[in-house]
């Protein structure tokens, strides 16, 4: 029998001082993350660093034994894949890419891009539509480690079969193998795909808008936030979107607009693609 304390016996309320420490020291307010998920992430953080008590964890943060980036990197969940949820990419191809084609230069923001698979997926569709060279693609995430992977575009080969299937179901027209080179158990995405990409760390909770985009994707990120936080983030997107731009969310996300200030039409209910409508267009 192990005598080690069971981290799952820690009450959520015991983590409050840690949340406060992180907020005081780094200005990062995690209280808007859902409680069940937050509890699981804290337990994971303690497991990784072998802390037996919340007191120890808090102490380590105060004494900067764990860096801010380490905390963020362990507290966030970064699971993603190529062409995740193919119907989404199919509707981008059918409904949004024709719109992007009308611009000589257009900008796309992947907010919470994680390790970048979503960015490479869309870049492939843009390439097949002949407009990749006209794109400026920004990937942002709060987690600096995942951005490094995104930049390199090097992924494990394990999931290749699924990626290929997803690509085909998304309406891809080439052999998927023409977009990467394989080496041992890794694949490296064709550098042609990332030429238009820029990456930066950005915290959706308190960093501001940084450009005007024709398309913003923020998939499987909002589900970690409570309603207040989510509303704020959606209004951040609103400020960063051009007047007729599109927003794409994750399949479990829901668009929320506060009152009359934001007007969006639903482009596709299943794939959670929305379009901003200016008052002029509505009237």
Partner 1 sequence: MESEHKIWLIGGSAGSIKACISILKAITKPMDRTLIMILHRGNDYKSELAEIFSNATGHTVMDIGHQTKLEKGVYIAPQDYHLLLDETFNTCLELSEKVNYSRPSIDVTFESFSYILKDSLNVAILSGSNADGAFGVSKVLQRGGRAIVIHPEDAEFKTMPSETIKQNEGKCSVLKINELIQCIKKENT
Ligand X SMILES: C[S@@+](CC[C@H](N)C(=O)[O-])C[C@H]1O[C@@H](n2cnc3c(N)ncnc32)[C@H](O)[C@@H]1O
Residue numbers at the binding site for partner 1 (CB under 8 A): 8, 12, 34-37, 39-40, 77, 79, 85-86, 162, 220, 223-224, 227, 252-254
Q: What is the three-class DSSP state of 179?
A: helix
| Both structure tokens of 162 | 């699924």
By a kind-dependent CB cut-off of 5 to 8 A, residue 204 interacts, out of ligand X, partner 1, none, with ligand X
Write the interaction track for ligand X spanning residues 216-255; mark x where CB under 6 A is met and - where it is not.
---xxx--x-------------------------x-----
Smaller CB separation from partner 1, 215 or 221: 221
Smaller CB separation from partner 1, 220 or 268: 220
Cα angle: 44, vertex 45, 51; to 5 degrees: 105
By a kind-dependent CB cut-off of 5 to 8 A, residue 203 interacts, out of partner 1, ligand X, none, with ligand X
Nearest distance, CB of residue 76 and ligand X, angstroms: 3
Write the interaction track for ligand X spanning residues 138-157; mark x where CB under 6 A is met and - where it is not.
---xxx--x-----------
The b-or-e profile of 59-93 (16+ CB within 10 A means b, else e) is ebbeeeebeeebbbbbbbbeebbbbbbbebbbbbb
The partner residues of 137 in beta bridges, in order of sequence, read: 108, 197
Cα–Cα distance measured from residue 217 to residue 261, given in angstroms and rounded to the nearest whole number: 21
Should residue 37 be labelled a site residue for ligand X when binding is judged by CB under 6 A?
A: no
Smaller CB separation from partner 1, 205 or 223: 223
Smaller CB separation from ligand X, 152 or 277: 152
Write the interaction track for ligand X spanning residues 53-92; mark x where CB under 6 A is met and - where it is not.
-----------------------xxxxx---x--------
Give the residue from 255, 244, 217, 251 showing the smallest Cα distance to 139: 217
Beta strand 186-189 pairing with 154-156: antiparallel
By a kind-dependent CB cut-off of 5 to 8 A, residue 142 interacts, out of partner 1, ligand X, none, with ligand X
**DSSP element (H, E) containing 201:** strand 197-201
Task: Output the CA torsion 248→252→255→256 (10° steps).
Answer: -150
Angle (deg, nearest 10), helices 68-75 and 144-152: 70
Cα–Cα distance measured from residue 215 to residue 237, given in angstroms and rounded to the nearest whole number: 10
Should residue 96 be labelled a site residue for ligand X when binding is judged by CB under 6 A?
A: no
DSSP 46-108: HHHHT--SHHHHHHHHHTTSS-HHHHHHHHS-----TTSSHHHHHHIIIIIHHHHTTSSSEEE
- What distance lies between CA 64 and its chain's CA centroid? 27
By a kind-dependent CB cut-off of 5 to 8 A, residue 106 interacts, out of ligand X, partner 1, none, with none
Nearest distance, CB of residue 259 and partner 1, angstroms: 20
By a kind-dependent CB cut-off of 5 to 8 A, residue 141 interacts, out of partner 1, ligand X, none, with ligand X
By a kind-dependent CB cut-off of 5 to 8 A, residue 233 interacts, out of partner 1, ligand X, none, with none
Should residue 114 be labelled a site residue for ligand X when binding is judged by CB under 6 A?
A: yes
Interacting residues toward ligand X by CB under 6 A: 76-80, 84, 112-114, 118, 141-143, 146, 202-205, 219-221, 224, 250
């Amino acid at each position: 029998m192990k005598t080690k304390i069971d981290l799952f016996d820690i009450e959520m309320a015991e983590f409050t001082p840690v949340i406060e420490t992180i907020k005081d020291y780094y200005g990062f307010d995690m209280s808007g993350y859902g409680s069940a998920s937050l509890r699981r992430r804290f337990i994971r953080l303690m497991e990784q660093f072998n802390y037996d008590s919340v007191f120890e964890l808090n102490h380590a943060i105060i004494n900067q034994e764990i860096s801010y980036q380490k905390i963020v990197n362990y507290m966030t969940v970064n699971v993603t894949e190529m062409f995740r949820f193919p119907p989404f990419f199919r509707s981008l191809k059918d409904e949004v890419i024709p719109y992007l084609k009308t611009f000589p230069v257009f900008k796309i923001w992947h907010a919470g891009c994680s390790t970048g698979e979503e960015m490479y997926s869309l870049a492939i569709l843009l390439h097949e539509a002949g407009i990749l060279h006209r794109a400026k693609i920004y990937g942002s995430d709060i987690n600096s480690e995942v951005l490094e992977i995104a930049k390199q575009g090097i992924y494990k080969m394990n999931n290749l079969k699924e990626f290929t299937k997803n690509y085909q179901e998304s309406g891809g027209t080439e052999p998927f193998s023409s977009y990467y080179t394989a080496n041992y158990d890794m694949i490296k995405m064709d550098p042609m795909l990332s030429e238009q990409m820029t990456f930066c760390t950005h915290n959706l909770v308190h960093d501001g808008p940084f450009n005007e985009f024709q398309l913003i994707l923020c998939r499987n990120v909002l589900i970690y936030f409570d309603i207040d936080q989510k509303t704020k983030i959606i209004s951040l997107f609103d400020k960063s979107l051009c007047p007729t731009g599109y927003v794409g969310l994750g399949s479990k996300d829901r668009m929320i607009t506060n009152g009359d200030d934001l007007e969006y039409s639903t482009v596709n209910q299943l794939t959670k693609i929305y379009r901003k409508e200016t008052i002029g267009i509505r009237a």
